[in-house]
Amino acid sequence: MSAFTVKHSDDNARVGVLSTAHGDVATPAFMPVATQGSVKSLDPADLRAINARIVLGNTYHLYLRPGIDIVELHGGLHRFMAWDGPILTDSGGFQGFSLEHLRKIDEDGILFKSHVDGSMHKLTPESAIEYQERLGADVIMPLDVCVAADSDKAAVAAAVEQTNRWAERCKETHTRTDQLLFGIVQGGLFPDLRQRSAEHLISLGFPGYSLGGLSVGESKEDMYEGVAAAAELLPSDTPRYLMGVGSPEDLVECVARGIDMFDCVLPTRIARNGALFSRDGRINIVSAPHRRRDEPLEEGCDCYTCQTFSAAYVHHMFKAGELLAYRLATIHNLRFVLRLMEEMREAVANAEFDDYRTAFHARFVPPDQRARHEQKTKWLQSQGRPGA
């Protein structure tokens, strides 16, 4: 039986179900990021309340702290973090890109210096799979090589070939039948390199495919074009996972281009800075106009924060430096994104996605591209620290 079934499609947008050992996931789906086994400021009950169905952990960070042995000793990642739903773990390959000042890549793997204590470690394709098997995630990733958006074609081609070779080693190492190992398609913004990567990975027969090396500094237009071209290369009966994308406008546009799964730290990270999603765009809850607002953050929002507290109270929590501010803001932003996914699934199922997409863009005003690029650059530079 296939792990993925497409239920409805509307042009390139589609609705499906990903079946895992810990339950089914309706797609398109967004995965809140639990880098170290925790979505920052939330507990599992909060995640269930906002209807999160799958979360993402990071092998690199869990390996360094608390250590794979500790997680395994406590029954695996699900039991350790008290989350009984599906979990996807990244391999640590992205940290090989973002922690450039702390690592060295060779044929065998990634040699890196711990951002925690400065100790040296080697992550290989084989150990990346071993660690994820011991963590017990439902969906796991091979070790890959990601390069910057402005890399020249020779550097991107070398990353593709390295990723392909490592994918073979990862697939040979993987033994657990209750886990889904996805391939990661690289190639930057070069269509021929994306095709080379996709064809090789498809020949290996993965049950799902991820798109890496996008949303790493390129323009939105380039990212959308790259996503569309890469998605067309992938099998229609397997899930397509776009890594590291989470802006509402990007989610809508990439679902339109055939993407099924997403993850990103953006909703949680900006929440802790007081930037909250609304139908009209982002609002800055710490700004003066919210000081007296005796109404929810957003009218019609069904999240706990909006159903319980006024915007004035959330404003006060931030101004007072109360830790509750982070939880309330994170609940709102993640519920906004998860509700967006629910609405898109309904629109696709009813063959109304184009109307939904048009209505969304007519109202939602995203940050300007310069601000987006600056935020992305700061985040990439911060990835030595767990930033989900």
Active site residues: 90, 263
| 34-67 core/surface letters (b: 16 or more CB in 10 A; e: else) | bbbbbbbbbebebbeebebbbbbbbbbbbbbeee
Residue 78 backbone dihedrals phi, psi, to 5 degrees: -60, -50
Provide the residue type at 384 as one letter. Answer: G
Please tell me the distance from the alpha carbon of residue 7 to that of residue 14, in angstroms, as a whole number: 8
Residue 182 backbone dihedrals phi, psi, to 5 degrees: -90, 150
Local structure of 144: helix, strand or coil: coil
* CA 45 to chain CA centroid, nearest Å: 21
Please tell me the distance from the alpha carbon of residue 97 to that of residue 95, in angstroms, as a whole number: 5
Dihedral through CA 113, CA 128, CA 208, CA 53, nearest 10? Answer: -80
Q: Which residues contact 236 (CB under 8 A, 6 or more apart)?
A: 6
Cβ–Cβ under 8 Å, residues 54 and 25: yes
**160 - beta bridge partners?**
none
